[in-house]
Amino acid sequence: MTQDIHPVLLCGGSGTRLWPLSRKSFPKQFARITGDDSLFQQAALRLSGPGFAAPTIVTGNDFRFIVTEQLAACEIAPRAVMIEPEARNTAPAVLAAALALAAEDPKALLLVAPTDHVIPDAAAFRAAVRAASARALAGDLVTFGIAPVRSEPGYGYLELAEGADSAGATPQPLARFVEKPDAARAADMLAAGRFLWNAGIFLFTAESLIAAFRAHAPEVLPPVEAAVAGAVRDLGFLRLAGDPWAAVPEISIDYAIMERAENLAVMPYGAGWSDLGGWDAVWQESEPDGAGNVISARSTAIDCTGTLLRSESDRMELVGIGLSDMIAIATGDAVLVAPRTEAQRVKEAVKALAARGAAQATEFPTDHRPWGWFESLAIGPRFQVKRIVVNPGAALSLQSHHHRSEHWIVVEGTAKVTVDDEVQLVSENQSVYIPLGAVHRLENPGKVPMVLIEVQTGSYLGEDDIIRYEDVYARGQGAKG
């Protein structure tokens, strides 16, 4: 490989198929589902090291600080973190990254990858990327096809051209993309031996992709070009311009380009892959024990077979007795129980909860912020109790509230507290009162996380009751800014 590959990591999605662990406010790519790193971190690490340039990240506004925090935790510095004003599917996101990279090098080689997939053998995948790079540098659009291990109606497929090798070590000619089939058709395609799963991973040069948009999706190009040209720097992020972005068609890169282009090739890959499209896939990828069970640290199985038991709360013990082929997922505020064969119906549950107005449909009790996180411990008609964790050196905004007062009790570390004109250090087992309307700020001047308990009282306790006067994270007004 003669030049570095530029990873383009897409992490703006808000999938619900792994609810209650994955929700709109904290989707699955940022969760630790398999291993100690999040899926996003695994993707960034997999596409780093010799032969790879710093990654370009495309994400949404609400996830920007999660992205930078998780990258810092695995010691990866991004080339750019591009912020979409709103989600417009994959085609505009990929094109924006290509345009930004093409401004520096039109022949830059881009590897576009979702960040919510599992690829256990990172070395084998990097080898496949290297094997495909010459074809991409020659001007082709290379997609990666996964050797199917079962009949799977939940995936899109790639049909190889006549004479292509489904286990080839170099890119193969591609006949066509195939939409998600029904069960019978999926079984026929598996038996035929010339179909691969569509992984949604692509390799091409920036100029090749831009030329493909010009030829096959010209309506997408001008507004994305304008959004990139009008992008502004904001605390190290690159914010795409909102007005032109609003005119961008919402379309996937498959529909916009891949199903129309002729200069296509597919790189077969058979060393293991999953898009973790449901809890049944998590069970399968988590290496069930001899009884077919996958059991988390805070779960207990008694006379169970083929069952996934997973507790995500350190205050929740999950016990299954006599279960067969079931999934049970417990978080601090929600529990999912279903047969493994019904795992794909989780979206129905989220839709039903949303229709009832249940916060659990989209929001976590744990809320991640650029300075740390907080969780609600108790809520009443006129009070709320939170645990707040502030990272070393971090600070909340200088702010006030219209409808609530607050009482802070430090339980770990030391807080630097500003209340109007008074600044004081509050140590462990000490407390401070924040009157309604007082201008205040909380900071952690120490080198370890600071933990406090906040007791709010007032007529309205919503997160949008906040006026920011200063903020090191430039979030503006609103619940999260």
CA 440/CA 434 separation, integer angstroms? 7
Count CB neighbours of 453 within 10 A: 15
Residue range 99-113: average pLDDT? 97
What was the pLDDT predicted at 6?
97
CA 481/CA 475 separation, integer angstroms? 4
- Order the strands of the 383-390 sheet from edge to edge: 366-369, 372-379, 383-390, 450-458, 404-412, 431-434
What was the pLDDT predicted at 1?
44
Confidence tier at 477 by pLDDT (50, 70, 90): confident
What was the pLDDT predicted at 2?
62
CB neighbour class for 76 (10 Å; exposed up to 12, middle 13-18, buried from 19): middle
The pLDDT of residue 296 is above 90: yes
What was the pLDDT predicted at 479?
61
Higher-scoring residue by pLDDT: 115, 478: 115
What was the pLDDT predicted at 331?
93
Asked if 189 contacts 157 with a C-beta cutoff of 8 angstroms, the reply is yes
Q: For 363-386, write each residue's pLDDT tens digit.
A: 888 888 889 999 988 899 999 999
Confidence tier at 481 by pLDDT (50, 70, 90): very low
Residue range 12-18: average pLDDT? 82
What was the pLDDT predicted at 441?
96
Q: For 166-215, write each residue's pLDDT tens digit.
A: 999 999 999 998 888 888 988 989 998 899 999 999 999 999 999 999 99
CA 143/CA 199 separation, integer angstroms? 8
What was the pLDDT predicted at 3?
83
Annotated domain spans of the chain: 5-269, 279-354, 366-470
Say which CATH topology domain 5-269 has: Spore Coat Polysaccharide Biosynthesis Protein SpsA; Chain A (3.90.550)
For 366-470, which CATH class? Answer: mainly beta
Asked if 267 contacts 141 with a C-beta cutoff of 8 angstroms, the reply is no
Query: Which tokens in the block code for residue 57?
Result: 């990240």
What was the pLDDT predicted at 209?
98
Query: Which tokens in the block code for residue 418?
Result: 């500003």
What was the pLDDT predicted at 478?
63
Q: What percent of the chain has pLDDT over 90?
A: 82
For residue 130, the number of C-alpha atoms closer than 13 Å in the C-beta half-sphere is 13
Among 61-65, 417-421, 455-459, the least confident range: 61-65
Residue range 320-329: average pLDDT? 98
What was the pLDDT predicted at 314?
86
Residue range 126-137: average pLDDT? 96
The pLDDT of residue 325 is above 60: yes
Residue range 408-413: average pLDDT? 96
The pLDDT of residue 327 is above 70: yes
Q: For 208-267, write each residue's pLDDT tens digit.
A: 999 999 999 999 999 999 999 999 998 889 999 999 999 999 999 999 999 999 999 999
